[in-house]
Amino acid sequence: MAPGKNQSSGVTEFILAGFPNLNNTKAELFSVFLLVYLLTLTGNVLIGVVGADTRLQTPMYFFLGNLSCLEILFTSVIIPKMLSNFLSRQHTISFAACTTQFYFYFFLGASEFLLLAVMSVDRYLAICRPLHYPLLMNGTVCSWVALACWMGGLFPVLGSTVAVALLPFCEQDGVVQHFFCDSGALLRLACTNTKKLEETDFVLASLVIVSSLMITAVSYGHIVLAVLRIPSVSGRQKAFSTCTSHLMVVTLFYGSAIFLYVRLSQSGSVDTNWAATVVTTFVTPPLNPFIYALRNKRVKEALKDMFRKVGAGLWGIFYLLRVSIGRQ
């Protein structure tokens, strides 16, 4: 079989529709999405860099580092190609690139749901079981749990990706009614009955999304009950402020994903699917670093120290350059 070619139908590429109803605002959309992507990269890279600080060598920041890595990869699977389409007259994507994008989008998304559930359990143990926490969440346990989250997304999605890659598609240069190769948009182009595949996707999505949501909800429920028992009013307000921010991001991420994928039929309204996908792709990724970490006092201190060291290093280099130029 030729590289990037679907053997069943001979399809070698698709056309990504992008945002056809917003063609008159391409420049504005490009600027907004580029800014969001740069914010996502900057925020998540900063979390990864400061995570090396000795003050942040805890399970929470270890998991945050993994979340940041997932967010960078998750957005990079979709946004660069979408941005390039804004600048190009041809919005084509090869069959191989399309199936690869499909796989990594769902692999990284599934891993993120599992990781969010683990992070909620970590916070539950830290707040509600503080005496057992160091034993239950030691370095070895954290490493294995993080690996399980990555593997939990890596393998289950593989079967669906192969099934989609083997589907017969009706048209060469078929138009994918989306800004990336999403499952529903691809299944609409297949010239065969995809009901069984949709049912399989529904079961997988339900297992990953709903089960991780239940774990997250139960964990935060116990955390809220523990917070209510805090005698200090200011302590309760601070804890509720943190929990509310976390729950807001989790609700956006889970809500949009459930709307998109926990349903038997993938043939929903194109406009509503776009809107829900924009939330998971452009809203929650830049919010996560600020909600989970950059508001934290210890993270702020670590960032200040890092910038101070970088500034001192740059000043030292500048001073040496001036000295060497003056001697010449």
What is the domain partition of the chain in residue ranges? 13-326
The fold adopted by the segment(s) 13-326 is Rhopdopsin 7-helix transmembrane proteins (1.20.1070)
pLDDT band at 173 (very low <50, low <70, confident <90, very high): low
3-class secondary structure per residue, 54-104: HHHCCHHHHHHHHHHHHHHHHHHHHHHHHHHHHHCCCCEEEHHHHHHHHHH
Highest mean pLDDT among 30-44, 187-201, 225-239: 30-44
**Token pair listed for 312:** 């001192």
13: helix, strand or coil = strand
Residue 185 CA to residue 178 CA, distance in Å, equals 6
Handedness of CA 314, 317, 320, 325 (dihedral sign): negative
pLDDT band at 2 (very low <50, low <70, confident <90, very high): very low
Say which range, 4-8, 155-159, 162-166, 242-246, has the weakest mean pLDDT: 4-8
If you average pLDDT over every residue of the chain, what do you get? 83
pLDDT score for 96: 92
Query: What are the pLDDT digits (tens) for 270-279?
Result: 556 777 788 8
